[in-house]
A and B are shown apart, each in its own frame.
Chain A
Amino acid sequence: MALADAEVRGSISDFLFMESLALDERRFRDWLTAFAADARYEVPVRVTREKLAEWELSPSSRIFDDTKRTLEFRIERLETDFAWSEQPPSRTRHYVTNVLVELTDVADEYLVHSNCLLYRSRGDDPNPSIFSTQRKDRIRKVGDGWEIVHRWAAIDQSLINAHNMSIFI
């Protein structure tokens, strides 16, 4: 894996931390600005398979299969008074670690590997939902900043222990 220099890594890491801070502070419109106009947001379905199986992450099934437009659809919904799954809202915390910034064959575009542990607490339920995920983001330089061209996040559980996913990874 050919890695970008420390300056690029630092700058992209800060970008990812800012992006998840927007989610955890429920500033969804701010969060959306982190995505490119042609962005894809994808969370594949995981299946428990034998070691030698061709795939564990389904090539065709996805929990999220979004464009920037459909992410906006979800956010418009959250802005109404009747998005019941987030009424009252979830408390989320994104723990983003193990950031590795890999060079790609496109200048100013990087494949960014990270782990994201997502904690979600709802109401007075003492049992939080915890989603452990592997992320691979395609991130592009725009002016002085960055934008996500493709977010890919795979949840480590195949049977997911949460009644819904009304939040973003």
Chain B
Amino acid sequence: MSDDVMSMVRQMREGVPAGRVPARIFNDREVFEQELTKVFGKAWCFLAHETEIPKPGDYVTRYIANNNIIVARDEKGEVHAHLNMCRHRGNMMCKSEMGNASHFRCSYHGWVYKNSGELIGVPYFNEAYDKKLDRKEFGLVKVRVESYAGLIFGTLDPNAESLEDYLGGFQFYLDIYLKQGINGSEVHGPPDHWVAETDWKICTENFSGDGYHTPVAHQFGFHLGYFPSSGATHSKGWAVHIPDKGHGIGLGHTPGMPPFFGYPDDLVKQMHESLSPEQLELFSKTRTAVGSVFPNLSFLIQPLSLEPGDPGVRFCTMRLYHPIGPGRMEMWSWCLVPKDASAEYKEAAYQAYTLAFGQAGTFEQDDFENWTKVTKMTGSTLAREVDFPYIQGLGHEPLEDFPGPGFAVEPYVTEDNFRNLWATWARYMEGE
């Protein structure tokens, strides 16, 4: 890393706890290049949801940094992740985004691998290699995987801590998205997938609980009555983060809201089985749950009213921000639905999702318009010298009687989670 970026990161280690973050991190070539190894080479990165590959042989292709990865379920039902590259000459193995195959055959010289990664077929093995090639040595490059409640993560760091330790208690909050029913959640279908001139970190920060932007960036929703919150009380609720891990969630609360509003009754009943009493206490009061797992996976659950003033339909989205260049990313956006909900609710929740999020979603549209502009502006020479204030909630003590783990504060509108996010990011960038 150049001295220049190194000193910026070092200054950040001191600046973030005091509430300052340099604008430059949101659009800078060297920052991007360093992140590929310093952050994405070390962290647990989301690959796929188990319901995307339910059957033996099912696979999807995904990314960690610039590594294209096959995530496949083998014939025994076990999930594997491998670099999507033939070990012979580097050709791409799977050229589709999803499918079903027990074996992968390279289209260049024909090496064949099982979906669990072992090399099992080498053309002219006797004649050309004199049987001397050790096939065990040339399986597909393996990526370590672990999963939590349907989420499959991979890490490029063989020495990384376990996923359980990495999440560090954030599972408690992830369950609002992942355990919506007794058999959990499933993807409604393949994700929306698009390119944006946006730095991935802007999205991670926003979804770590930026309740502050909602009444302005999504003002239409308040103004027209489609979003069941009001500007006067929108700051209410809680923000929680896992110190040193980077994960954070905002839990917005509407005063006077009925418990679990926007959920159908049968789902509330199921949640009484899938969730703990502490989770039920907190989630029953939650209108909006918007959280990010460090570095680039986020979730949101909230109601959207289809008629002004209606209590609304709950939808849940999961999103991945894949960095592809300085200030440039690929967006993957899924809708998660409870597996055991009625078909009617699943469709209604999906329709609410498409109206609010996904590439044509009305909330998403406005977010990306703002985020592309943030990215453009922070890439300028003058902006490089500018710090942004992150002082909301600075010095507040955490709540003592909060039902969940982590550092929890009131109100929902605060920047505690973001300071934890940027301190974590800076620590990764320094290589600690």
- Residues of A at the B interface (CB closer than 8 Å) are 43, 45, 47-50, 53, 58-66, 69-70, 73-74, 76-77, 80, 82-87, 158-166
Contacts and interface: CB of A to CB of B under 8 A. Distances in A.
Given A70-B306, A164-B364, A47 B190 contact: yes
Contacts of A62: 354
6 contacts: A62-B354, A63-B360, A74-B362, A82-B216, A161-B195, A164-B368
Given A80-B220, A166-B369, A50 B197 contact: no
Contacts of B371: 163
B365 A165 contact: yes
Given A80-B223, A164-B364, A49 B359 contact: no
B196 interface: yes
Given A47-B97, A161-B194, A163-B194, A70 B351 contact: yes
Given A61-B188, A159-B193, 5 more contacts: A43-B360, A61-B189, A62-B354, A85-B369, A86-B365
A141 to B, nearest CB: 29
B194 A160 contact: yes
Interface residues of B, number: 42
B360 A77 contact: no
Given A83-B220, A84-B366, A158-B193, A164 B360 contact: yes
Given A45-B190, A58-B189, A162-B195, A85 B366 contact: yes
Contacts, number: 122
Contacts of A162: 194-195, 359
A61 B369 CA distance: 23
Contacts of B360: 43, 63-64, 164-166
Interface in B191-246: 191-198, 216-217, 219-220, 223-224, 226
Contacts of A60: 188-189, 350
Q: Which of B335, B358, B364 has the most CB of A within 10 A?
A: B358
A32 to B, nearest CB: 16
Contact of A165 (B99, B219, B359): B359
Contacts of A66: 354-355
Nearest to A64: B360
A116 B361 CA distance: 21
B34 interface: no
B350 A65 contact: yes
A63 B220 contact: no
B98 interface: yes
Given A45-B190, A49-B99, A62-B354, A80 B359 contact: no
